[in-house]
Chains A and B, each alone.
Chain A
Amino acid sequence: MSAEKTEKVEIKNLRDFWSFFWSELKPKGPIFTPFNIISAPVIVIGLALIVYRLAIGLGDTTNMNNDFPWGIWKGAIVMSGIAIAGGGYTLGFVVYITGMERFRPILRETVLFAFLCYVFYAPALLIEIGRWWNFQNPFIGYEFGVSSVLFIVAWHFVLYMITLGIEFSPAAAEWLGMKRVRKIVGATAVGAVALGVMLSIHHQAGLGALISMGHAKLHPLWYTEFIPGLFFFSSIFAGPSMMIIVSSVTQKVFSNRVDEEYRKSHADIVVGLGKMCAGVMFAYLFLTFILAHHEHDLQYINTPMGYWWLTEVVGLGLIPMLLFINGVQNRNLSTIQLAAILAVMGAALNRFNCAFIAYNWFLPLEARYSPYWMEVVVTFGITFLMIWIFRFAINRMHVLSRQPEWAAAIDKH
């Protein structure tokens, strides 16, 4: 249906584009759903709080202080958000580089999800930095801190955002009926993926390198020389785990947008992703334990922080791995989905720990950081807004269904 419709409206000039865009802005489903009723006020309050924070500063809107310079905006939104967006490059690699076509139905959804993660977390960084009017300095400033890890992370962050945009642009071009654009961006796929893998390795590991600079204040169980590697590995399983959750949800919620091919192959894809996650998690946990042993950190196990470490590594690491293995062997989708939820929580908790929980761990409990309500509301507001845009795109573009005939014809040429 929609394929035929979009084929009729080929956009030739800007006026066509705007009239089409306005007509598409109308909501496609019922407006007063429980999700909308909850999320809309949170988004509005969140946006108001963002303006308030930009005007009044960080001190009054967050609980961050000089002992805990990074709170949940960096720990939750940026660090764990980037980790769970790791599906973008892992699945791109799997489908485009190693040619496992059976994962293709989930690819567009993954790229869209990752793209939105990056697009929404970049503004989150803008409110997080103290002197936000200087945000352009790393990119067009007069002084580049080229020896800084964060400089590399910032550049690769932005470059990867553009790359993901290019990777997703075929779907947008199909939606707008732009045949020539579709032809051009369709040809860039493998190049964009290869570049994306490189950029992802850089900034996923780079976030770890940032953490490793705080070695003097980080609990020894979390600090190792190989944090960059651990961050990279954990993003390889956190991304696909997140996609198991996201795709399972979208299968149910957007069932009218899912085509027959994807619906049939979904179980296979989830099992395949589960297998992948189990393997990578094994490598990650093996490395974690080996490092903890080699650096003589296991002496801290029998302390409160040690229990917390075990919660992260065993409770949200080893157990989901075993669940993944069990689920894959029995082809039990709900086990795999449960494992995916735990694995994502584990990866996120790891980022939280590095940003503020295991950081300055020797301070008394009352001096430790806990998020202020404004921080939490802004975090949820940004996440909800992201889900709204995700829904917008899924309801209008060929994300969960095969591309229209004319686009497939272009690809064959």
Chain B
Amino acid sequence: MDRRTFMKMVGATMAGTAGGTLLTPRTSEAQKAFEQKEFHSILIDTTRCIGCRRCEKACAEANNLPIPDISEQANEAIFEKKRKTSETAYTVTNLYETEKGKVFVPWRCMHCNQPGCRSACLVYAIKKRETGHVTWDANCLGCRLCVYSCPYDLVKWEWYGTIVRLQKCNLCYGRFLKGKLPACVEACPTEALMFGLRRGLLEEGKRRIAQNPGKYIKRIYGEFEVGGTSHLYLSAVPFNQIGLRTDLGVKSVPEYSLVYLSAVPFIAALVPITCFAIARVVRIEKDAIRKELEKKEGEEKKKGEEKEKHK
């Protein structure tokens, strides 16, 4: 190996390593937030919800969305359909017919502990705040991978209009910074929604389960689902009867891309080097073959010349 090739290889190695280090994933950020600070949460007790939809109205008022009609006649018509959250409604309440009768369930962004939308975002426009709020910033470019990857299907894109944005519950982050409760919690007449620190709410949920034997099923939805969420659900009936998916597992969404992300620096460092190595070996081999052929040809030529001389 001459000096030039050596320098080339050193350069390539350094470039590969630098690139690899630069692009090493930092997925542990959400984890860090999780360890250092308590997340804020809302405990939703579906046995207490009466389907008045005041949370929907308060949410619309707080977030400048179209104000829904929550009169009783309107409610009756609306509960016939299972609605989804949308760009005009961050929270919706649905009615489910279950084995224990009618159950109302409010829906909104779950504010996962390790949000898939946050790890999907390539410009860090979606943030998991240290307080637990999952918020959206305007440097978003609208690739909608967050919508694609939300396991609960609660992240919504605004499709109509030129200046569009991501529309979802942000746990009233603005109000939180001013020291106020989330609008929906403030509006709830039956304390079906309860705001607080996640750990405290989990304890409260377990206390309710223990103090009212037979009233609840003995689990809190959101304690472990998809890595844990900040919206916690208590229910009297199995969760799949009130529309909550129970097949999602406990693995958080960012973990699904972790295999790929951890391979990135290795590929960045190793593949070019391997390619150069193969190319070099092939070249050496080819040169050797060519030289041998030339040698043979030369010998044959010599022999032929000698033969002609003899003649």
Q: How large is the interface on A (under 10, 10 to 19, 20 to 34, 35 or more residues)?
A: 35 or more
CB pair A194–B140 under 8 Å, yes or no, is no
B27 within 8 A of partner (CB) = yes
Is B170 positioned at the interface, with any CB of A under 8 Å from its CB?
Answer: no
Report 14 cross-chain contacts, Cβ distance below 8 Å, ordered by A residue.
A66-B153, A69-B148, A129-B144, A130-B142, A131-B165, A147-B29, A148-B121, A155-B23, A198-B271, A202-B264, A208-B260, A216-B245, A216-B253, A225-B256
A214 contacts B by Cβ under 8 Å: yes
Q: Shortest distance in angstroms between A364's beta carbon and chain B's nearest beta carbon? A: 12
Which positions 125-180 of chain A face chain B at CB distance < 8 Å?
Answer: 128-132, 134-135, 137-138, 141-152, 154-155
Give 8 new A-B contacts, CB below 8 A, not counting A99-B282, A141-B123. A70-B144, A97-B278, A130-B142, A138-B123, A142-B139, A154-B122, A191-B12, A213-B257
Which 4 pairs across A and B sit closest by C-beta, in order of nearness? A130-B142, A59-B159, A216-B151, A194-B275
Cα distance, A142 to B123, chains bound together (Å): 8
Q: Which residues of the partner chain B approach A59 to less than 8 Å between Cβ atoms? A: 159-161
Cβ of B162 and Cβ of A57 under 8 Å apart? yes
C-alpha spacing A158/B154, complex, angstroms: 31
Residue of B nearest to A201 (CB): B267
Residues of A near B157 (CB, < 8 A) are 66, 69, 130
Judge whether B122 and A65 touch: CB under 8 Å.
no
Inter-chain contacts of B70 with A (CB < 8 A): none
Nearest-CB residue, chain B, relative to A60: B160
What 0/1 readout, one digit per residue, does chain A (192-209) give for beta carbons within 8 Å of chain B? 011101100110011011
- Please report B residues at the A interface, Cβ cutoff 8 Å: 12, 23-27, 29, 84, 86-87, 116, 119-125, 137, 139-145, 147-149, 151-153, 156-165, 226, 245, 248, 253-254, 256-257, 259-261, 263-264, 267-268, 271-272, 275-276, 278-279, 282-283, 286
Q: Are A197 and B272 in contact (CB under 8 A)?
A: yes
Task: Give the docked Cα–Cα distance between A201 and B266 (Å).
Answer: 11
- Measured in the bound complex, the distance between the Cα atoms of B275 and A201 in whole Å is 13
* Interfacial residues of chain A within 76-105, with CB under 8 A of chain B in the complex: 93, 96-99
Q: Which residues of A contact B282 (CB under 8 A)?
A: 97-99
The answer to the question of A55 belonging to the interface, with a C-beta cut-off of 8 Å to chain B, is yes
Interface centre among B257, B263, B268 (most CB of A within 10 A): B257
B257 pairs with A149, CB closer than 8 A: yes
- Among the listed A131, A194, A210, which residue makes an inter-chain contact with B164, where contact means beta carbons less than 8 Å apart? A131
Q: A132-B142, A146-B23, A228-B260 are in contact. Are A198 and B267 (CB under 8 A)?
A: yes
Contacts A97-B282, A130-B144, A146-B26: A152 and B264 contacting too (C-beta < 8 A)? yes
Q: Give the residue of B137, B144, B147, B159 whose beta carbon is less than 8 angstroms from that of A57.
A: B159
For A56, A66, A360, the residue with the greatest tally of chain B CB atoms inside 10 Å of its CB is A66
B139 and A57 within 8 A (CB): no
CB distance from B110 to the nearest CB of A (A): 12
In the complex, whether A293 has a CB less than 8 A from a CB of chain B is no
Closest to B127 in A: A143
Please report the C-alpha to C-alpha distance between residue A69 and residue B162 in the assembled complex, in whole angstroms.
Answer: 17
Evaluate whether A195 and B264 lie within 8 angstroms (CB atoms) in the complex, with A134-B142, A212-B257, A228-B259 already known: no
> Given contacts A99-B286, A217-B153, are A212 and B23 in contact (CB under 8 A)?
no
| B123 close to A137 (CB less than 8 A) | yes
Question: In the assembled complex, which residues on chain B have CB atoms less than 8 Å from the CB atom of A225?
Answer: 256, 259
Q: What's the nearest-Cβ distance from chain B to residue A29, in Å?
A: 39
- Contacts A138-B123, A143-B125; A131 near B159 (Cβ below 8 A): no
CA distance A96 to B278 in the complex (A): 10
Whether B279 contacts A99 by the Cβ 8 Å rule is yes
Q: Which residues of B contact A58 (CB under 8 A)?
A: 159, 164
Contacts of A64 in B (CB 8 A): 159
- Are A147 and B261 in touch, CB under 8 angstroms? yes
Evaluate contact between A143 and B275: CB separation under 8 angstroms.
no
**Given the contacts A69-B148, A131-B140, A143 and B268 also touching, CB distance less than 8 Å:** no
Known: A66-B147, A130-B144, A201-B271. A57 touches B122 (CB 8 A): no
A12 vs B159: C-alpha distance when bound (angstroms): 51
> Which residues of B lie under 8 Å from residue A98 when comparing CB positions?
278-279, 282
Bound Cα distance A208, B261 (Å):
12
On chain A, the residues within 8 Å of B123 by CB distance are: 134, 137-138, 141, 143-145, 151
Q: Does A141 contact B139, Cβ atoms closer than 8 Å?
A: yes
Query: How many Å lie between the Cα of A217 and that of B147 in the bound state?
Result: 11
Considering the complex, give the chain B residue whose CB is closest to the CB of A92: B275
Pick from B143, B165, B275: contact of A93, CB under 8 Å: B275
List of A residues within 8 angstroms of B142 by Cβ? 129-132, 134
Which residues of the partner chain B approach A216 to less than 8 Å between Cβ atoms? 151-152, 226, 245, 248, 253
Cβ–Cβ contact B276 & A194, under 8 A: yes
Q: Which of A17-70 contact B (CB under 8 A)?
A: 55-60, 64-67, 69-70
Say whether A129 contacts B141, CB under 8 Å. Answer: yes
Checking B27, B144, B151 against A147 with a beta-carbon cut-off of 8 angstroms, the contacting residue is: B27
